[in-house]
Structures are given as structure tokens and as C-alpha cells.
Chains A and B, each alone.
Chain A
Amino acid sequence: MAGTSDPHASAFSAAELEFLAEDEMIEIVPNLRMDALNFISGDFGPFRPQIPTQAPLWLAVALKKRGKCTIRAPEWMSVDKLTQVLEAERDSDKFQPLPFHYVEISRLLFDHAQGDIPDTYMVRSLIEDIKDVRFHKIGKGLESISGGGTFALKLKNLSAMEANIVRPFVTRALETFYKLSSSDMIQETDNAPNRQQTANRGPRVSYMFMLYIVKSPTDAQRQLKDR
């Protein structure tokens, strides 16, 4: 194996994505008095007992570990919201919008602030279910990539962790498709007058997870406006 020099290796490790997720903001309720903190990464606070304020996750977790605050679970992490998401996720081939780092955020909170999340058990299992449904759909979506034209893949609403997991497989498969369908390999039906034809064929873009293959740029724009 080529090891680290393998261009297909994941660009990021799970731990690095977790690092990025730690900069996401979350609401905390401090139980101490502390002046505002002027960090390189931004200004936070001041902190007053029982007054909710916003802080990056890493700061929230650091305070929590020292017993200096409680963390308020984000809105999307409630049983109601997650139940809705799970249902929608099951009913549709599309991916429901969730925070870009939802996988990392939920793990961080479960690890460090379990007691602060209402209905922990339910929430945890709902997130697991949502993740499983989404992974199943990712598999289905990838199966439907059609070669001979797939040049770009749109991964709508895919989260950071999900994208990172499928990256090695997807990039490798796309590169093979790309190579096998290069113009040197595939016969052109007609050389000179096919400009018109190709234009009608539309972009070779697979709008994965969106359930439609876009026929032409104008169609795509129309669909955009309709939404």
C-alpha cells in the first residue's frame, strides 16, 4: 500500500473534523463570573452566573469539564426535531438539512455533556437511526452514479463526516469513470457537426441525492428559482 502518499486517502481524519466542529457555536449557562475572553479565535463572554451566552464547543466542553457551566443542547437535538428529520429522511430520497458537523457535535456532547441533553437516550438513538438511514441512502445514491458522463457529483446536504467517509471511494470511482469515458476512449458519433447535439445533451452532472439529472443549465436555473 502506498500509505500516506496515496492521493486517494482521506484528506482529513475523523479527529481533524472533530477539531473543526469544536469551533461551532453553542449556548451555555455559566455558573461562574468571568470577564470576556479575547481569544485569537474570537471574543467570547463576559460570563455571568445563570445568564445564557454563546461559546464555541471547545470552550463549552472545557468549562463543562471543570463544572463551570451547563450546555444547552442545540434546537435540532430535540426529540421532536429529530423525529421529524428521521421521518422526512425515510420518506424522501433527498437528504434533510442538518448541521454540517452534526455527527461530530453529537458525539462531543454525548461524551462530555450527556447530563445536559434532555431525553439523552432517545436523542442518541434517533441520531443513530438518522445516520443509518442517511448512510443507506448514500450507498443507494452512489450506486446510481452513471458513467459515461458523470463528471461532477453534487452532494446536497451531505455533512462533513459523511462526505469524508465516502470521499476515498467516490473520488476513486469518479476518476476511473473519467478515465474510461475520456474522448480518446469513447467513440464520438460524429465529429464535426455535433456541437448542437452536445449542447442539447446538457451538462454531464449527476445531481446525486436530488433525484433528477439536470437536462440543461436553463432547466437547472429554473428549478432553482422555483424552490
Chain B
Amino acid sequence: MASYYDIGDILAEEELVPTVFQYGANGVGLLDSSDDADKVEAGSRAELPFWLVRELYLRQLVSIRVPPCFDRESKTREEIAADAAHVDLRSRSPYFYELGCKIALLIRDRTIGPFLLVAFQTRYRDVLVKAHALTLTMTPKYLTLLTNEEIKLYEAGQSSIAAFKKWRMGGPRFQVAPVLGRKRKLT
């Protein structure tokens, strides 16, 4: 399991997912704060972190309501279709793609994947253009629209351009050794 120490993956699983309890359960009142009884009724709704939802779902204790941003008839889908680059995905979920993937794989929903793909495809072009443009003044605002994966992509593009520019301006370079008098001890 390669992702065990992956902090991004851990945080992605903290994202809340709306669920519906299939059975009543005692002693888990903290999951449903609507009343003081220390239990949840069958059919009650709760938003739980993904890591917990997965375990409950696999035991058929809860059903998952696909979060609105991935839903087939959601506003997010319409917005993406209209102008993907400027949709604030971060506010939907900073782990939009990761969470989408996890939910899609868990509940075997085949409509989420193509949607994520289209979203990424249209948005990453913009990320690229902005990363390479390097006009630092405009970036902070733009970055607030991006999900974590997109920000990493942006940083990857930007830092390699920056490293190249530094080298061109005469940054640290491999020195051809100024020789004589510099001897290595024979081993």
C-alpha cells in the first residue's frame, strides 16, 4: 500500500460524504446531533468522513448519497460544461478528483469518472498557461479556485521554469575543478 504515508491521501479521506443509515444504531449519537438520544434511527442522514463511510458502506450499514458536486444533474456539472476553467472547485472539495475517484470506485458509479476527466482536461490547460506565465501578482486569487491536485500541478510547472531561469541567470553550476594543489588522498 503505497499511499499509507501520503498525507494528501489521508486528508482526502477526511472529506465528508452524505450518507443515509440503513439500520438504527445505538451508542453512536455523536454522528447525529439532532437530538439527545444516544442513537441514530434507520433512514437518518449524516455527513461522515470518507474513511468511515467506506467501512460502513462495505458492511451495508449506510447508503451513500453522491455529493452534489459529482451528481449527474448538479449545478457543478453545468458550470464545468460552460466554463470549466473558472469554476471554484476548491470550495466544492479541495480533493475534488481524489474524492470523486474514491467514491466512484466504491459505489461503482461509472458516470463520475468521465465527468472528472472532462473537468481536469479543460482546467489543466489553464493551469499550464498560468504556471508558465509567471505573473505573480495575479496568482494568489487564481489559486483559490484550484483543487489540491491542480495546485500541485501548477507548482510543478512553475518551479521548473523558475529553476531554469535561475540557471540561465548564472545560478550555481557545476564547477570545472580549479585543479593543481587539490589532491585526493589515495585510498
In the complex, A touching B (Cβ < 8 A): yes
Interface flag for B164 (CB, 8 Å)? yes
For the complex formed, measure the closest distance between the CB of B54 and the CB atoms of chain A, giving whole angstroms.
15
CB-based contact B117/A180 at 8 Å: yes
Q: Verify if B29 is at the interface (C-beta below 8 Å from A).
A: no
Question: For window 56-74 of chain A, which residues contact chain B by CB distance below 8 Å?
Answer: 58, 61-62
- The interface residues of chain B, by DSSP majority, are classed as helix
- With A139-B129, A167-B160, A168-B156 in contact, is A187–B113 under 8 Å at CB? yes
> Within 8 Å of chain A (Cβ to Cβ): is B45?
no
B57 at interface (Cβ–Cβ under 8 A)? no
The answer to whether A161 and B164 have CB atoms under 8 Å apart is yes
Q: How far is the CA of A168 from the CA of B113 in the complex (A)?
A: 24
CB distance from B80 to the nearest CB of A (A): 14
Verify A146–B131 contact, CB threshold 8 A. no
Instruction: Number of A interface residues at 8 Å Cβ cutoff, please give it.
Output: 39
With a cutoff of 8 Å between Cβ atoms, the chain A residues found around residue B153 in the complex are 169, 172-173, 176
Set of chain A residues within 8 Å of B159, measured between Cβ atoms: 168
B163 and A185 contacting across the interface, CB-CB below 8 Å: no
Residue numbers in A under 8 Å from B176 (CB-CB): 22, 58, 61-62
Q: Given contact pairs A176-B124, A185-B113, enumerate 15 new A-B contacts (beta carbons under 8 Å).
A: A8-B152, A14-B166, A15-B171, A15-B174, A18-B173, A135-B132, A148-B117, A164-B160, A168-B157, A172-B156, A176-B97, A179-B101, A185-B104, A185-B110, A186-B114
B residues touching A (Cβ–Cβ < 8 Å)? 97, 101, 104-105, 110-114, 116-118, 120-121, 124-125, 128-129, 131-132, 149, 152-153, 156-157, 159-161, 163-164, 166-168, 170-174, 176
Give chain A's interface residues, CB within 8 Å of chain B: 8, 10, 13-16, 18-19, 22, 58, 61-62, 107, 111, 135, 139, 142-143, 146-148, 161, 164-169, 172-173, 176-177, 179-181, 184-187
